[in-house]
Chains A and B, each alone.
Chain A
Amino acid sequence: MMNRRDFIRTLTLAGAGAMVLSPAAFSALNSDNKFIFILLRGGMDGLGALPPIGDRDFAKLRGRDIDHSAYKPLDAIFALHPSLQHIHRLYQAGQAAIIPALAAPYRGRSHFDAQDMLEYGVARKNGMRSGWMARTADIIAEQQHGNSETAIALAGALPISLQGTINALAWAPDRLPDASGDLIARLADLYSDTPVLAQAFDKARKSDDIAVNMPRAMMERSQISARNNAKKEAFIQLASAAGNFLKVPGGPALAFMELGGWDTHSAQHRRLTQQLDTLDAGIKALKTSLGSVWQNSTVLVMSEFGRTVNFNGSNGTDHGTAGAGFLLGGAVKGGRMVGDWPGLKVPQLYEERDLRSTIDAYSVIANVLRDHMHIDPAAISKSILPDYKGTAAKGLIV
């Protein structure tokens, strides 16, 4: 049977809004707290990152995916993917709360729309022109009387999340990383009908600094791993930079980071291992770089949606609904799972194919904004997350 100990039935909790403080009281509160939002673009497979190995239905669905010896157990149901070593340590230290069935309200399966809406902080397209983090940045700027750079995007350009405010800046190293292995693979597919492009591109992929006599299979693997190493280094660099920006006295309170490459329609096992390894290394770098500020920090890691519970015909998964989310940081009431586990039996699934969501991402964000960033709940529901009518989750923050 499922073990539900420590689960917080967030959505059924009444009275979370009872926490009534005046705006003046909020602005007087600690303003050194940091909120880092890491958007995993492409749709991370929650069942791959956070396998519910204690759920018997999981073995039926993903039997071939299970190697009990390598997984890092969390409780009677869940374990973490072996790549997530560092997040596992955070969990053991009480600094990671893990949400197994998290989703924003959008229920379509388009990456573009799902990411846009999650970044605008809305439930449907409604003409919103600024991101939820941007609106938060403005409120924090007001609270901090004249501090004008309250948010930063570790990216080449401002993401939607931070568009629409003068209080955000974007930073990325001069030289952005080369195209990822995933983009290269997609283009190779696109070029296949244009022989002149296909031939040149194929040669370029083969000659990417690889020794001439290497067998083809090995060659492709090492090319991909070279590109993935570069991607990992870049993400570590951005995470370290984020820490440096945030820990400056009077520095930004909000940071946005992103990591693409989660759209694992094929060969998921290998790709997810690399993606999670990159994510884990980035989290570690962020914590190290933040130093003591980690104690005042909350990091929300999530994707625009999860993936199908079943594998498709190419050892991958397709666009789904709910997925795993991670709340990390010294300020997080961690070492536990958050939210109900909806189960994997067909009737329990959303549209009989996807993990059903039991926690609304906006309730988690609202909770962090209220209890961690000390933002007036009225401002949250009025201007930051206007489409969110539920009650903010409670008890996520120490």
Chain B
Amino acid sequence: MDRAAYILSRFTMGGKVGQRHDIAGSPLDWALEEVDKTFDLTIIQDLPDTRSMATIMREMRIARQNAARSGRKSEVSKSFLQRLRKAFAKQAQAHFRQAVENKTSIHDRLALFWANHFTVSGSNNIVRPFVPAYQREAIYPNLNGYFGQMLWAAETHPAMLLYLDNHISVGPNSRAGKRRGKDLNENLAREILELHTLGVDAGYSQGDVTSFAKILTGWTIGGRLDKSKVGQSVFHGAMHEPGNHQLLGKTYRGAGEEQLKTALGDLVSHPSTAEFIARKLAIHFIADNPPESAVEALTKTFHETNGHLPSLHKAVLKQAMAHAQPFVKARTPHEYLTASLRALSPNSFGENAYKIMPRILVEMGQRPFSPPGPDGWPDDAASWISPQGIMRRVNIANAIATRMRDQDARSLMQDIYGDLLSDDTAQHIRRAESATQGLAIALASPEMLFR
């Protein structure tokens, strides 16, 4: 098996021409070293951050209040919404570009995995403008740290608080709760336990969820009163449910802010979390039904390193080499387009590719930054290789091929996949009636649809 081609296909956003050759000597060592490097974010630096998006939203709220008196409310909204849309589109395009143009892209794939694990979805219009910045602020900087650090950054990020309603969760016995008669919202508490740490089968009870929701109260979004806190999360003691709270048999005491830190720390150390994360990584990097031995090995690594992410990433690389099964993981539409553009780059599409990507992705059933729910995009072939989905990809492959020239699919696929390219695919490309059809077949081949 061509190990270099396999690693590039499975662990990056897709091979580029020449890359397989570059790492052919010792591909695993290359990948292990890459994991330890820092994420190259050159392409997505200097984008509007959460604070600047929140500032636009705040200005919009004030302007709408003022305009309501003069009856120009909708006009005012329109111009602000346009600003928000533009700022979002700029970020989305930069993110697409990063995944296509960043040469190594092991970190891009890891980032994709973790952003999906800690999903904040733009399917909610108010949340939508914040999603790319959330990923850059909570996920990307923590790829080389500990799981606990990423967990903390994600759960306390304003976008997460907003998405899973924690900003409006009020302890019923808190000062704010008593004054305004407000109550808990347990959305974030439940999803942290179910989706981010323990997993649904870990045996926690409704009591644990309610209790954890109380621990989370007070974590909200600043800026309503204090302008200097716009776009930041704050702990607002007046909303926090006072007293001690029980979670998974342990009592959390003390002032509210510390409670969450301790509780999240304990969730990281919980055996269910290690196994839950290990299995999810194995599913993403090894197979839809990964071997139990691999899951066990990764669980062990999680325990031993206390969730040190680079150690986990390297362990999953080694496991994926040991259980190598090329082309069994279906690429999502986003991964598919990204891999296609990487294979074809440099190409004549330029910036246009990133501008039209959102529209194509919507057509392919994957609205950018907007998975249907907090559980993120599915990570199995059955969800993506549907009759409708596959025909769309074939049509997209055809459309891309029709717009490309100067690409010889025969040498292109050979360069990227080496011995991993099946004889069948090579033959179908070779027998195509034209270079364009050959490229369409290459782009619609199992080697491109899967990784």
Q: Which residues of A are at the interface with B, using a C-beta cutoff of 8 A?
A: 41-43, 111-112, 115-116, 155-160, 163, 172, 176, 178-180, 182-184, 186-187, 189-191, 193-194, 196-197, 200-205, 207-208, 260-263
Contacts and interface: CB of A to CB of B under 8 A. Distances in A.
Contacts of A160: 405
A182 B433 contact: yes
Counting chain B CB atoms within 10 Å of each CB, the highest count among A115, A183, A204 belongs to A183
A147 to B, nearest CB: 24
9 contacts: A41-B434, A112-B434, A115-B435, A116-B435, A158-B405, A190-B424, A193-B424, A200-B386, A204-B390
Of all A-B residue pairs in the complex, the 10 with the closest CB atoms, nearest first, are A42-B433, A263-B433, A204-B387, A203-B387, A41-B434, A156-B403, A204-B391, A179-B398, A156-B402, A200-B390
Contacts of A155: 402
Interface size on B, as a range, is 35 or more
B402 A191 contact: no
Given A156-B402, A176-B402, A203-B387, A262 B433 contact: yes
Interface stretch (B105-113, B183-191, B224-232, B440-448): B440-448
A183 B390 contact: no
Contact of A207 (B385, B387, B410, B438): B387
Contacts of B399: 156, 176
Given A163-B405, A190-B425, A183 B398 contact: yes
Nearest to B446: A194
Given A187-B444, A189-B428, A197-B390, A260 B433 contact: yes
Contacts of B433: 41-43, 111, 182, 260-263
B405 A159 contact: yes
Contacts of B382: 196
B432 A178 contact: no
Contacts of B388: 204
Interface of B: 330, 348, 381-382, 385-391, 394-395, 397-399, 402-406, 408, 410, 422, 424-425, 428, 431-438, 440-441, 444-446, 449
Interface of B is mostly: helix
Contact of B389 (A183, A200, A208): A200
Given A112-B410, A196-B385, A157 B440 contact: no
A201 B402 contact: no
Contacts of A178: 395, 398
Contacts of A260: 433-434, 436-437
Contacts of A202: 387
B354 to A, nearest CB: 17
B254 to A, nearest CB: 53
A201 B390 contact: yes
Given A187-B444, A194-B446, 19 more contacts: A41-B437, A111-B432, A112-B435, A115-B434, A156-B402, A157-B405, A159-B405, A179-B440, A180-B398, A183-B441, A187-B394, A189-B428, A190-B428, A193-B422, A196-B330, A200-B386, A200-B389, A202-B387, A204-B390
B381 to A, nearest CB: 5
